């Protein structure tokens, strides 16, 4: 993957672990992953949505207008590499943690932007990890609907959906679970 992140563009970024390996074994792993992401990527990306699952992750990001494309790409690689090195050291494991460094799909249609946000949030329910995606702790959904301070671009997301109540409503729609195959990580 050599294409840089283009400033101002939206991307669905995701990756999974090798085989049945876990990406997160403890709550501290999830927290550390998000901190590494913030440390490496906050200068280059605005984070719109995310979901961390036991063996994979999803982010919806917008590349900052001021971001140098190659530097943004390096920041994301460095984030994942840093997490993998720390994880390997902590769990005395060796070798690649990720199946691939990461994949990304440019979100170039308005309808796709809405779909990917809902897809990311509903992912834990889709995989049977929880019965109700709203109960998954390692997702941006609850951060977006709360009044607490967040590093997410809450204003953009809620405006995009026409406000908080509409945001909640579209996440509840049954057809929200039916997404095009190209959005799937599996």
> pLDDT tens across 75-114, in order?
999 999 999 999 999 999 999 999 877 899 999 888 899 9
Contact of 121 with 139, CB cutoff 8 Å: yes
- Cα(9)–Cα(129) distance, rounded to whole angstroms? 31
Q: In what order do the strands lie in the sheet with 103-107?
A: 45-53, 56-63, 10-16, 103-107
For the cut 90, the answer to whether the pLDDT of residue 140 exceeds it is yes
With bands split at pLDDT 50, 70 and 90, how would you rate the model's confidence at 185?
A: very low
The mean pLDDT value for 153-159 works out to: 97
Beta strands in the chain (DSSP E): 10-16, 45-53, 56-63, 103-107
- Cα(74)–Cα(66) distance, rounded to whole angstroms? 15
- Cα(140)–Cα(150) distance, rounded to whole angstroms? 9
For the cut 70, the answer to whether the pLDDT of residue 184 exceeds it is no
The mean pLDDT value for 129-144 works out to: 96
Query: Tell me, what DSSP letter sits at residue 146?
Result: S
**Mean pLDDT value across the chain:** 91
With bands split at pLDDT 50, 70 and 90, how would you rate the model's confidence at 180?
A: low
Q: What is the pTM of this model?
A: 0.91
With bands split at pLDDT 50, 70 and 90, how would you rate the model's confidence at 1?
A: very low
Strands 10-16 and 45-53 come out as unpaired
Contact of 42 with 64, CB cutoff 8 Å: no
- Cα(164)–Cα(45) distance, rounded to whole angstroms? 23
């Amino acid at each position: 993957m050599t294409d840089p992140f283009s400033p101002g563009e939206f991307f669905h970024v995701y990756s999974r672990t090798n085989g049945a390996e876990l990406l997160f074994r403890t709550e501290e792993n999830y927290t550390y992953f998000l901190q590494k992401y913030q440390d490496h990527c906050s200068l280059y990306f605005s984070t719109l949505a995310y979901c961390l699952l036991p063996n994979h992750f999803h982010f919806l990001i917008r590349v900052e207008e001021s971001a140098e494309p190659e530097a943004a790409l390096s920041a994301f690689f460095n984030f994942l590499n840093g997490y993998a090195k720390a994880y390997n050291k902590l769990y005395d494991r060796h070798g690649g943690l990720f199946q691939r460094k990461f994949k990304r799909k440019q979100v170039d249609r308005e309808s796709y932007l809405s779909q990917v946000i809902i897809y990311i949030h509903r992912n834990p329910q889709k995989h049977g990890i929880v019965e109700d995606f709203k109960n998954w702790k390692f997702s941006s959904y609850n951060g977006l609907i709360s009044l607490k301070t967040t590093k997410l671009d809450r204003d953009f997301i809620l405006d995009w959906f026409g406000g908080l109540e509409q945001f909640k409503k579209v996440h509840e729609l049954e057809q929200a679970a039916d997404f095009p195959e190209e959005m799937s990580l599996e």
